[in-house]
């Protein structure tokens, strides 16, 4: 990882601020005023000095590492996990975006406030940081969010989700009132903005920062690509060799993926985290109840941590990765908008994979699992239960 030196530097800086001596007088340094920290600590399990939020990208990434404002990210994290922001105080962002399963949900349709259900399957959040790179704002003139790509930022998405009667059912002014009533937010807003909460946008911006810090890029797949880079100096020819540390089965699965899936879902060795295509119809059905972006076209979702993010597709209609692979092998429907990549002339393509090929493809998809990300404390629930 690129950031060892920076890390060392911040550690030294940290140690020197925690106890610093001036003219023989011991200065007891506190990041938060002591009474603020004591107050927050009644509710929240936050460190005395906020954690650093940064994306320490693998070496093969073309992007430079990103640093985020740690106070905004910390505030955003608390908001993300706070059930008080929903109408009946039972649902937080994290209710439908659970860290241990890639910030997705294990239900086809998630539980919203007052026993309501969402209209779509929850999307995993491991790659929001790189939407700009891989969906590219140039393609549609903005960075797209949701299954139908209708929102253009986490702020816009969050406003829609908070206000959605099936999800959190709160107007922004109501969210603001709730936040003002909760005493642990005062110090968090002071740290982040230099003053208490003033406007709704400050809430959305903090959530936006936190969600953007959420990045998964330390899977076995990333490690294998990095390994190739360090032994070869560049990524040339990587498509044609077996990846080190991968079993024969995983390598076979990778070849099947490159041949049949990468034209839409992308190759991460190209330097970004995933999709090559912004949206498509993948022939899930002949008729769609939900038309997505129009004509049954939906976002091509990230496959990061896909092992954990089932059930799959916008309607959660495929329960397992085996079901997904069966779909692409012999189940693609001849929908009128079916993407040409999944067609053979006028007919849906039939890959007719053998059972062992299917198992290989599933084994390969599991190499996208990033255990460090799934358990990283800086993304975890800060509330004391
Ligand atoms: C009740 C469940 C639920 C809650 C609560 C919820 N989400 Fe979601 N989230 C979803 C669903 C379902 C989708 C897909 C919706 C769609 O496409 O129309 C989604 C989509 C998203 C996306 C788009 C990801 C992408 O790849 O386009 C982001 C980002 C997101 N949610 C963040 C949040 C944040 C931040 C909060 C809290 C403010 C939140 N969610 C609260 C269920 C939920
Ligand atoms: C034509 C582009 C295209 C190709 C080729 C393609 N996909 Fe997809 N994939 C999509 C789209 C679009 C969706 C979302 C469709 C929906 O929800 O209606 C999707 C969804 C998925 C999902 C569900 C992810 C989630 O979070 O719900 C998985 C898993 C998946 N594809 C794996 C594969 C595999 C494996 C292959 C190769 C065998 C493949 N895809 C080939 C476009 C494609």
Q: What is the pLDDT of residues 51-101, one digit of tens each?
A: 999 988 888 887 788 899 999 999 999 999 999 999 999 999 999 999 999
pLDDT digits over 267-305, tens only? 766 544 456 788 999 999 999 999 999 999 999 998 999
Share of the chain above pLDDT 70, in %: 87
The span from the CA of 211 to the CA of 97, in Å, is 11
Is pLDDT at 248 greater than 70 in this prediction? Answer: yes
**Which atom of ligand 1 lies at the shortest distance from residue 85's CA?**
38
Q: Report the alpha-carbon distance of residue 144 to residue 302 in Å, rounded.
A: 13
Ligand 2 atom nearest 104 alpha carbon: 26
What are the tens digits of pLDDT across the range 303-345?
999 999 999 999 999 999 999 999 999 999 999 999 999 999 9
Nearest to 185 by CA among 172, 198, 173: 198
Choose among 43, 57, 58, 49: nearest CA to 17. Answer: 49
Q: Is residue 14's pLDDT more than 70?
A: no
pLDDT digits (tens, 9 = 90+) for 181-192: 999 999 999 999
* Cα distance between residue 307 and residue 8, in whole Å: 34
Residue indicated by tokens 């649902």: 91
Q: Considering only CA atoms, give the Rg of the chain.
A: 23
Residue 16 CA, distance from chain mean position: 34
CA of 96 to the centre of ligand 1 (A): 7
Q: Distance (Å, rounded) from C-alpha 226 to C-alpha 138?
A: 28
Residue 245 gets the label, from left (phi > 0), alpha (psi -120 to 50) or beta, of left
Tokens, residue 271: 């330097």
Residue 309 Cα: closest atom of ligand 2: 26
Give the number of whichever ligand sits closest to the CA of residue 125.
1
C-beta of residue 211 within 8 angstroms of C-beta of residue 159: no
Tally Cβ neighbours within 10 Å of residue 14: 12
pLDDT, position 274: 57
Determine contact, residues 147/279, Cβ cutoff 8 Å. no
Q: Does the beta carbon of 158 lie inside 6 Å of ligand 1?
A: yes
Which is higher by pLDDT, 3 or 152?
A: 152
Average pLDDT score over the chain? 89
Report whether residue 189 contacts ligand 2, using a CB cutoff of 6 Å: no
- Look at 153-157, 201-205, 363-367 and tell me which has the smallest mean pLDDT: 153-157
Query: Does residue 6 carry a pLDDT above 70?
Result: no
- Taking residues 165-178, what's their average pLDDT? 98
pLDDT at 163 over 80: yes
What is the distance in A from the centroid of ligand 1 to the CA of 345? 37
Q: Whose CA is nearest to atom 3 of ligand 1?
A: 96
Check pocket membership of 339 for ligand 2, CB cut-off 6 A.
Answer: yes
| Cβ(332) – ligand 2 distance below 6 Å | no
Q: Are 213 and 70 in contact (CB under 8 A)?
A: no
Q: Is the shortest distance between the CB of 363 and ligand 1 below 6 Å?
A: no
Contact present, 20 and 29 (Cβ < 8 Å)? yes
As given in the structure block, the two tokens for residue 343 are: 């067609």
Could you give the angle at the alpha carbon of 178 between the alpha carbons of 175 and 184, nearest 5°?
A: 120
**Exposed (0-12), middle (13-18) or buried (19+): which is 132, by Cβ within 10 Å?**
middle
How many CA atoms, within 13 angstroms, populate the side-chain half-sphere of residue 278? 20
Atom of ligand 2 nearest to the CA of 316: 27
Please, which pLDDT band fits residue 20 given cuts at 50, 70 and 90? very low
From the number of C-beta atoms within 10 Å of its C-beta (0-12, 13-18, 19+), residue 298 rates as buried
Contacts 24+ apart (CB under 8 A), 186-189: 186/36, 186/39, 187/32, 187/33, 187/36, 187/37, 187/39, 187/40, 188/40, 188/71, 188/74, 188/75, 188/78, 189/75
Contacts for 1-8: CB closer than 8 Å, 24+ residues apart: 1/56, 1/57, 1/58, 1/59, 2/56, 2/57, 2/59, 2/64, 2/65, 3/54, 3/56, 3/65, 6/65
296 C-alpha to center of ligand 2: Å?
13
**C-alpha 122 to ligand 1 mean position (Å):** 6
Q: How many CA atoms lie within 13 A of 346 on its CB side?
A: 0
């Amino acid at each position: 990882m690129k950031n060892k030196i920076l890390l060392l530097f911040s550690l030294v800086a940290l140690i020197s601020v925690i106890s610093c001596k001036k003219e023989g007088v011991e200065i007891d340094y506190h990041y938060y005023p002591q009474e603020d920290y004591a107050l927050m600590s009644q509710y929240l399990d936050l460190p005395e000095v906020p954690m650093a939020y940064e994306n320490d990208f693998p070496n093969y990434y073309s992007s430079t590492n990103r640093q985020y404002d740690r106070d905004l990210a910390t505030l955003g994290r608390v908001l993300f996990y706070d059930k008080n922001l929903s109408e009946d105080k039972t649902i937080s962002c994290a209710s439908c975006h659970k860290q241990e399963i890639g910030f997705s949900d294990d239900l086809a349709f998630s539980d919203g406030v007052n026993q309501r259900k969402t209209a779509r399957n929850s999307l995993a959040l491991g790659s929001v940081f790189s939407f700009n790179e891989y969906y590219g704002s140039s393609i549609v003139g903005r960075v797209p969010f949701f299954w139908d790509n209708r929102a253009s930022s986490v702020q816009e998405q969050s406003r829609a989700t908070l206000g959605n009667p099936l999800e959190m059912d709160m107007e922004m002014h109501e969210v603001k009132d709730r936040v003002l009533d909760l005493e642990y937010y005062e110090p968090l807003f002071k740290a982040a903005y230099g003053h208490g909460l003033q406007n709704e946008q400050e809430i959305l911006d903090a959530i936006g920062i936190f969600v953007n810090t959420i990045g998964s890029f330390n899977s076995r797949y990333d490690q294998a690509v990095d390994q190739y880079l360090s032994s070869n100096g560049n990524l040339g020819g990587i498509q044609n060799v077996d990846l080190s540390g991968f079993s024969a089965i995983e390598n076979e699965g990778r070849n099947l993926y490159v041949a049949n899936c990468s034209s839409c879902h992308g190759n991460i060795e190209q330097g970004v985290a995933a999709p090559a295509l912004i949206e498509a119809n993948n022939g899930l059905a002949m008729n769609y109840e939900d038309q997505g972006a129009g004509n049954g076209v939906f976002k091509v979702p990230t496959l990061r941590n896909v092992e954990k993010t089932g059930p799959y597709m916008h309607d959660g209609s495929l329960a397992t990765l085996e079901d997904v692979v069966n779909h692409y092998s012999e189940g693609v429907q001849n929908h009128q908008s079916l993407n040409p990549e999944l067609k053979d002339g006028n007919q849906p393509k039939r890959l007719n994979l053998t059972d062992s090929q299917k198992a290989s493809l599933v084994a390969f998809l599991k190499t996208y699992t990033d255990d460090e990300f799934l358990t990283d404390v800086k993304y975890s629930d800060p509330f004391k239960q």
